[in-house]
Chains A and B, each alone.
Chain A
């Protein structure tokens, strides 16, 4: 065997053999600890990813369930409250033709506090202009408008690349220090699938209406 030495030594990979001492040096223990830490970190990474998939699966199942006579807005609210951690949400419709916003639904936010958003300034405007969701944590403070103080995110709702609305996410629950990695992934999921579900519900309402 290439590199196997004289047969008296244990394989070099697990530590440092010191001739004449007949055992491993302390560094073998350190190496073992290092490998164990690395292994735990990889496991944690896998577990985190798995838990994200569980949450995405639940969000998706909830939205699909809402298509059969449920309420899509309730499904969005439940997903955000239970899986992300906010009970202050508003959904705005956006008309690309008229370039204006209208309030479609809200939960936990005073109607008066939502009025300034209808003009489409600030994070809202940027979200629609750039076609990408905007997050307060990632905005330069100077760009934030006074009425955006409690805003956490503007999630652009896109169906077939067309912007149909924006979810405004206001205060997070007190136990949340901010949005986390998995929260961004869930919001990314809602960008598309909440938009599709809302459109589905609207088409259904038009069919039912006389």
Chain B
């Protein structure tokens, strides 16, 4: 079902759950899951950079507010411009002093990003290139 994207998730969820209770008597199945999705589509998409590949990913490993879990974010098509060009990590390490990388990391923390358990991302532990098949 669709609902206006202008509605807050709490309102949609409340009405969806009320509707689920009304549907229950006309349905022989049991409700097991519900999802509310807001979809955003870019109107004008420029061409991707020549040679870019989603298989070449930048894997960012984060410490979180919890002692044990970490958070992982894999960015497809990581740019060669942020890969280290000197030192022992040349060619695969992500340069965490690069200003664009720093801006990305700052933005992640600013938006209160978490791992899948809800533990807030607090700092970067490591970042390097991974290839997906």
Judge: A and B partners, yes or no: no
Which A residues form the contact surface with B (CB < 8 A)? none
Which B residues form the contact surface with A (CB < 8 A)? none
